[in-house]
């Protein structure tokens, strides 16, 4: 699909802007809204590691701050042997805004995997079980 290609390219470009002086592990993410808008994000580290923010959350929080429409999908890209998946914290944040979304995971070698968010976080916290 063309949207997959566009999202992966946006995520690769965002990855180049990652601020990763400590881990040197750059990640890029790009999400697409129901209106077809693409919003990207990169990971931003802090010397106090707990204050680091992942690329997926940067993209999601930017979309929310800009009042964008419903998120339908997200691509995440990193230089890993296998396509990376979002961390648990990102999965829970994404679940808050788009439980039905799909996630396209890619690496710099061109490998790809696609998941539904609910596959990656089957027992998410929701308003009904917290």
Report the C-alpha gap between 61 and 117 in whole angstroms: 17
Neighbouring C-beta atoms of residue 59, cutoff 10 Å: 28
Partners of residue 29 on adjacent β-strands? 41, 76
Cα–Cα distance for residue pair 54/69, rounded to 1 Å: 21
Quote the DSSP letter at residue 44.
B
Annotated catalytic residue, options 2, 9, 56, 127 = 56
Contact yes or no for 78/104 (Cβ under 8 A):
no
Residue 56 appears among annotated catalytic residues: yes
The answer to whether 92 touches 60, Cβ cutoff 8 Å, is no
Instruction: List residues with catalytic annotation.
Output: 56
């Amino acid at each position: 699909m063309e949207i997959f290609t566009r999202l992966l390219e946006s995520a690769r470009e965002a990855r180049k802007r990652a601020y990763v002086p400590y881990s040197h592990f750059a990640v890029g993410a790009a999400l697409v809204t129901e209106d077809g808008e693409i919003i990207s994000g990169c990971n931003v580290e802090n010397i106090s590691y707990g204050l680091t923010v992942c690329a997926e959350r940067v993209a999601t929080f930017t979309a929310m701050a800009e009042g964008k429409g419903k998120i339908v999908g997200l691509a995440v890209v990193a230089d890993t042997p296998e396509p990376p998946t979002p961390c648990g914290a990102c999965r829970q944040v994404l679940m808050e805004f788009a439980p039905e979304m799909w996630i396209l995971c890619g690496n710099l070698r061109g490998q790809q995997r696609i998941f539904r968010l609910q596959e990656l976080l089957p027992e998410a916290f929701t308003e009904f079980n917290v």
